[in-house]
Each structure stands twice: as C-alpha cells, then as structure tokens.
Structure 1
Amino acid sequence: MRTARRTLALFAALAATTALGTAPTSAAEMPVSDWDRMLAQQPLVRTADTIQAEVLRGGHAGFAGLVLEDDHVALWWKGDVPAAVRDAAARAEAPVEFEAAAHSDAELREAAKVLDARRGAGVHAIKVPADGSGLVLGTTSEAAARGLDAAVDVPVRTVVEEPLVPVSRQNDNPPWKGGATIVLGNAACTSGFAVRNGDNARFLLTAGHCGNPGVRVTDPTGEYIGTAGAKHGDHDIMLVPTGNVVNQQYVGGGDSNSVEVVRGWGDVYTGEYLCQSGVTSARVTGNPVCNIKVLFFYADREDLVEGEQVNGQQAARPGDSGGPVYGPSSSGGVIAKGTVTRTAGARIGFQDFRTASRDFGVYIPL
C-alpha cells in the first residue's frame, strides 16, 4: 500500500462498539483538570474559528485541515497560503503555524468518494486526517482493503479495528432539556440539545437510530414530549418537535438535577478535548465522560467525527445515543458541539452540530 508523506497519528487499541444515548454532567461536578484543559483550549478554538470562517468565506482550494496543538494552531495547506488566510491568522488570538500538506481536504474527499463506491463490507470507515497526508481506512482485516489504494491517487493507510456501531435524568419535566432520558417506542435514548429553526419552531435534537418519524416520544414515566419528526438516517440525527424546551442541559450524575446553560454551538477541530453527557454514562460514572480528544472526520456516508477517551475509559454506553457532546463556554455554561451516535470502547463517534444545522436549519436559542 502507498504510505503517507507524514506519519498519521493513529491510536492502537480499539475495542468493540455500540450505539448510544446518554445524560450529561455539570462543570462543577467534573474533575477540575478536565474542565481546565478544555478552558485552556478556548483561545485555540477561537483562533481556529477565525481561520475557518475565512476558508469557508473564500472557498480556498488548498485548505487541508486545522489541528489544535498544545500551544498553537497548526494550519495544514497545500500550495501557497492566500493572503486573506494569512491575514486572518495574523489577527487571531493564538499563534498559528503553517504546515505543508500533500493533499487538500477537497482532494481527499473526492478520492474518498471513489473508495466509498468500491469498498466491500470489510471497510467500515473512510477517515480524513487533518494534515492532508492521505486517507485512513478502518477495516476488519488487511485483506478487506486490498487493491483499493490503486483506485485513487492519494496515499491510503489501513487500520484494522472494530467499527463504531450504534449504542436520566430519569424524569425530566417541561421545559424539556438536553441530557435527559427519552423513550421512543421500545428504545431509551438521551435528548441532545433544545434547538429552533428559522420559523422559530422548537425541537429536541437526538440520534436518528433511536426511532423513526411518527413514533411517540415520552419521558420514562410516560409523559408526552412530542412525536418524532424529520430524520437524516445517514447522519444519524433526528428532530422531535415539542413546544416547550429550554437551552439547558443536565450535567451531573444519573439522578442529578444540575444543569448548565447552552450558549450556542461551535465547530469541532482535530485535537480538541470535549465531554459527552449521556444518561447511561452519567448513571454509571456519576459524571460526564470527558477527556475525549477529536481524532478524525469521516468522509463516507455517515460523515461522523471520531474521538478517543485518552485515559482508556469507556467513551459511551448503550442509552447514551443522542446525548450532548460539548465544550466549555468562556462566559460560563457550555457550547454545543454534537450528539452521541456510536462507540467502540474508548472510541466514540458523534455527529457535529454544524451538520445538524446544515441538514435541518436549526440553531441553539440564546
């Protein structure tokens, strides 16, 4: 197989996976070091936001990716970095280092489409490293990807690993919040975030695999929340229309009533540390699961974000599906980053909030 020009940062130990639905914990209750680490990253996140805004505005073709390093943001770029992007980096809050990428993000995603059309059942993920070095195939065996690298003109690396697969606040009351147990038919999941669309209609965002449009959604006591509405199956996200929601999420143990205000949503970056607060994990651990480091963005149909709990702890559990993935807000409260959808031991797959915003036109009410 072809090798990438730069070594891809891959993790070695990968465990079995399950789809999730979970409940969150509060900043006050989580280990101080975890929260402080995420707060310390905020200048880097804001710097990445500044650069990404220019990339999206200008449609710059050479962009490969952004990575949050310990003390700077690495901007990977193929070819000459445009003056507008350099100006954005110069006025950003944290240091930015420019790194030469072998391939742009757009080139890798075009190559990923070719592989996606040709892959067999043994190739379960196509990942795009932020350094532009090539593609990473998650497979059940080396043989499953044999010959695929010849189909594209970019380096392809194979990693044999288990696939990420789908995985109470026990009695929430209206206004409905994120991080609570919701029951959809025979499935119990976690509410993600309270959202609105351009018509000011109100919804709970959760995982698509929890149910289908038209299913009745209640809390564990049977109190009616709403009827499942729009669903994007490939992205594993779904809206539950309900008139009475509030931009708060539960943060704490399974029976905790602690909540945090959700102060908008933000993009996700490679190297960023986040928390997830699904119901089952909150019950089992008494806290949210934090120290989840973002590793890859998927380029296949599922379009997931993959992270890893860096201490080797279980990243999510059955019942966590749909639950909030979030980071800290510098002004207090939390920032919505995505919703839990899959897990594999210390690995987690979640859908970023930008995708939900694009698919459904929703936002976090302030």
Structure 2
Amino acid sequence: MPAAHAIGPGIGIDITRPNGTNGISCTAGFLVHTADGQPGLLSAGHCNEPGTDGTVTIHHGGLYVYPEVGRFVESVHGGNQWTDFDIGLITLEHKGIDGIELTPDVDGHPLVGLAEQVEQGDILCHFGIRSDTTVCGPVAYADQNKVRFAATGQCGDSGGPVYRLRPDGAAEAVGIYIEVSNGDHSEPTCDEVHEYSIAQMIKPWLRAWDLTLVTTDRPGQEQ
C-alpha cells in the first residue's frame, strides 16, 4: 500500500477477515462521525465480507509501520446491478490511531460539504490508490442510489472518494467509488480499461446510519 501520513479520503486500507486470512486492499472514502462521536471512514461494502467485522490496517508514515486503525461495523453489498447497494462503514479505534492526524481533505482540496444534487453533465472526480491520480469526467446518469460518470478506474480504487469540485477549488462529497462500467448497467471486471465508473451515493447512508460528514471548514457539522 502507498504510505499515508494522515487518515482521510484516498488513503490505502488493507482488510483482514476475522478468521485471520488476508482480504483485499481498497481505498478509504470520506471521514465521518458516528452518532456517539466516534470517528469513522466510509468505503465500499465489497471490500469487506458482509456480516463480518474485518480489521483495517494502513501503511503509516512511509516507514515499515502498519497500524491496525479500526474495523468494519457495516458492510452492504447486494451485487453489481444498478439497484444494488455497495457501501461500508469503518469505525476508527483510538488505540490504533493515537498520534495519527485525521483529515477530511480530498487530494489536497478542502471538503466543504455534501453535494445536494448531482445532474447529467456535472464533472465528478475520484482518487484511488491504484490509479494514484485524480481522474475526472462528466456524469452520464445519476439517481438517488448511484451515479455513472466518464472516468477510468482500476482495481484497488474501490471505496475511494467521489466528489465534485467547486470553482474555488473546494470539494463537495458525492459518493464512494465501487466499480468500472462499460456504459450501461452491466459492470465488467476492473482489470480491463473502461470509459465509465460507478459510485454509490452517500447521502442516503449518512441518514440511514446517523452519520455526520466531517468537513474541513466546519468539522463535525452535520450535512
């Protein structure tokens, strides 16, 4: 995994299943607070085995240090159809994150809130550990559940932040990156190059799980 100097959107996470077997590496999404004030991260539900509390490790500081920072407490992955859900919640445990900065910033952009509405033609961006760069493109289709936009992605980008940039350079949270697409509702494998990507909208899940999106200029303010 690439090294991370803080915990926040776009860092690499490694998930280990409860039985001790290795899971997969994914990307962390937006920073949130739970109803009781505990810090957490959103990610893709398929990054963890649904129904299990897989542990999450990061590569911290550029050294050979891999602290366990939390675990999945929610994992929803019903499949790859357009109406299915794919999202997860990681709670961050203080023992593991002691001394590590938490940041809501997205790839150097301050996060100022939640995008209330996403429409066809809007430019969305995503950042993932495998692409290792910001990839942006226009929205082709969006509803309350998911959005498809013209941007490539790779295996390992799953779970990363999908956001819209404002003219002032600030970011608005939109969704969680979940898969590539061939342009319709059929999602092929991520080891092939495709023009489109799919994101799971986070707005319904912030409400369902009683979460607060953490922003740069208004830390902890509910969106």
**What is the TM-score with the length of structure 2 in the denominator?**
0.72
Q: Which has the higher strand share?
A: 2
Check if 1:263 corresponds to 2:100.
Answer: no
| Residue-pair matches, total | 176
Q: Which has the higher helix share?
A: 1
Query: Do the aligned partners of residues 298 and 264 (structure 1) sit closer, same or farther apart at CA in structure 2, a change above 3 Å counting?
Result: closer
- Between the aligned partners of 2:45 and 2:155, the Cα distance in structure 1 is 14
Tell me the CA shift for residue 241 of structure 1.
Answer: 0.3
Check if 1:219 corresponds to 2:88.
Answer: no
Aligned to 2:31, what secondary structure does the other structure show?
A: strand
Tell me the CA shift for residue 263 of structure 1.
Answer: 1.3
Give 2:73's aligned residue.
Answer: 229
2:173 to 325, 336, 340: 336
Unaligned runs of 5+ in 1: 1-167, 252-258, 310-314
Query: Do the aligned partners of residues 248 and 346 (structure 1) sit closer, same or farther apart at CA in structure 2, a change above 3 Å counting?
Result: same
- Between the aligned partners of 2:212 and 2:180, the Cα distance in structure 1 is 25
* Pairing 1:303-322 to 2, within 5 Å after superposition: 303-309=145-151, 315-322=152-159
Partner letter of residue 34 of structure 2? N
Partner letter of residue 288 of structure 1? T
Greater RCO, CA 8 A, separation 6+ = 1
Unaligned runs of 5+ in 2: 17-22, 60-64, 79-84, 182-193, 219-223
- Between the aligned partners of 2:54 and 2:165, the Cα distance in structure 1 is 33
What is the CA deviation profile of residues 140-168 of structure 1, one whole-angstrom value per residue up to 9, with x for unaligned ones? xxxxxxxxxxxxxxxxxxxxxxxxxxxx5
Asked if the contact 1:298–1:306 (Cα under 8 Å) also holds between the matched residues in 2, the reply is no
Asked if the contact 2:33–2:40 (Cα under 8 Å) also holds between the matched residues in 1, the reply is yes
Asked if the contact 2:46–2:75 (Cα under 8 Å) also holds between the matched residues in 1, the reply is no
Tell me the CA shift for residue 248 of structure 1.
Answer: 1.9
Check if 1:361 corresponds to 2:210.
Answer: yes
Identity of aligned residues (%): 25
Give 2:141's aligned residue.
Answer: 296
- Between the aligned partners of 2:209 and 2:77, the Cα distance in structure 1 is 13
Between structure 1 and structure 2, the one with the greater Rg is 1
Query: Do the aligned partners of residues 330 and 356 (structure 1) sit closer, same or farther apart at CA in structure 2, a change above 3 Å counting?
Result: farther
What is the CA deviation profile of residues 157-208 of structure 1, one whole-angstrom value per residue up to 9, with x for unaligned ones? xxxxxxxxxxx5x12244x111000000220000011111333221011000
Aligned to 1:228, what secondary structure does the other structure show?
A: strand
1:202 to 39, 56, 61: 39
Partner letter of residue 203 of structure 2? R
Give 1:246's aligned residue.
Answer: 103
- Between the aligned partners of 1:209 and 1:269, the Cα distance in structure 2 is 26
- Between the aligned partners of 1:330 and 1:364, the Cα distance in structure 2 is 21
Tell me the CA shift for residue 332 of structure 1.
Answer: 4.1
Aligned to 1:247, what secondary structure does the other structure show?
A: coil
Asked if the contact 2:119–2:142 (Cα under 8 Å) also holds between the matched residues in 1, the reply is no
